[in-house]
Amino acid sequence: MKAAGLNRNIRKQYTEISEVAHYLWERGWAESNAGNVSVNITDEFRSNKHIPKTNGSKLNKAFPYLAGNFFLITVSGSRMRDVASDPYNNILLINVSNNGQEYRYCGISKEGYFSTPSCTPTSELSVHLAYQNFLKKTNSKNKAILHTHATELIALTHIKNYTNEKKINKLLWRMHPETKMFIPEGVGLVPLMTPGTWKIAESTVKSAKNHRVIIWEKHGCLATGESVRDAFDLIDIVAKAAEIYFLLKKETK
């Protein structure tokens, strides 16, 4: 199908997602098909007239602030090691309808040609759309959302004392002073619940009102930033603080 005419900025997004996917895999935060990414590219991609109309779906909830918006989002079941090595075959382009109640999606080749894929968007699509809708509603500069299974943060929420938002922030700030410097608002904490549901999407958005980094109890975390790299940096900082905590526990035994 007709070429999408990918500009330099869109190609840069593919490169950044690929780069960060490599970091996640290297850190051991992306076992099997764990993790997902979305980036709002509406400012760089404005026309949907050549997107195949065969792949699409109605949304259970309307997202009015995403009306007509375009996103890059990882494929359901994609492995981050594959996203790193072959981003164009592991990332989809999503276009939300003008009423915010439907979406359709397609693949884009490295050469910029549209394709009708057999794959579907990430199972965490509801979280990404709800979060992206919140970012648009609040006129946030942030366009990227990153979800990963940061080992240190998952481990931390297996400790009952740190399933409390106030206590987990106090610990993280104490472990490394730069945590408070870069994330002065602290991290949000969403209690354990089923992934990929509207319930976890709604809880995440509620937490996003005050936090850029959100930990999902015993599951992983999300972060938002102006770029995927920015979102990764925030998670990296928080995970480092948690890692220091576990190193100290080991030394004091």
Q: What distance in Å separates the CA atoms of residue 217 and residue 188, rounded to the nearest whole number?
A: 10
CA angle 124, 129, 132 (to 5 degrees): 125
Q: Name which of 128, 183, 125, 131 is nearest 153 in CA terms.
A: 183
Q: Residue 70: in which H helix or E strand, if any? A: strand 70-74
CB atoms within 10 A of CB 164: 13
Catalytic annotation present for 165 = no
- The answer to whether the beta carbons of residues 205 and 230 sit under 8 Å apart is no
Question: Encoding tokens for residue 241?
Answer: 């603080």
- The answer to whether the beta carbons of residues 218 and 199 sit under 8 Å apart is no
CB atoms within 10 A of CB 50: 13
**Which of 26, 44, 124, 243 does the annotation list as catalytic?**
124
Q: Name which of 144, 145, 146, 155 is nearest 239 in CA terms.
A: 155
Q: What distance in Å separates the CA atoms of residue 208 and residue 193, rounded to the nearest whole number?
A: 17
Question: Encoding tokens for residue 14?
Answer: 């593919």
Phi, psi for 94 (deg, rounded to 5): -110, 140
Provide CB contacts within 8 A for 77, sequence distance 6+: 33, 119
Catalytic positions, please?
124
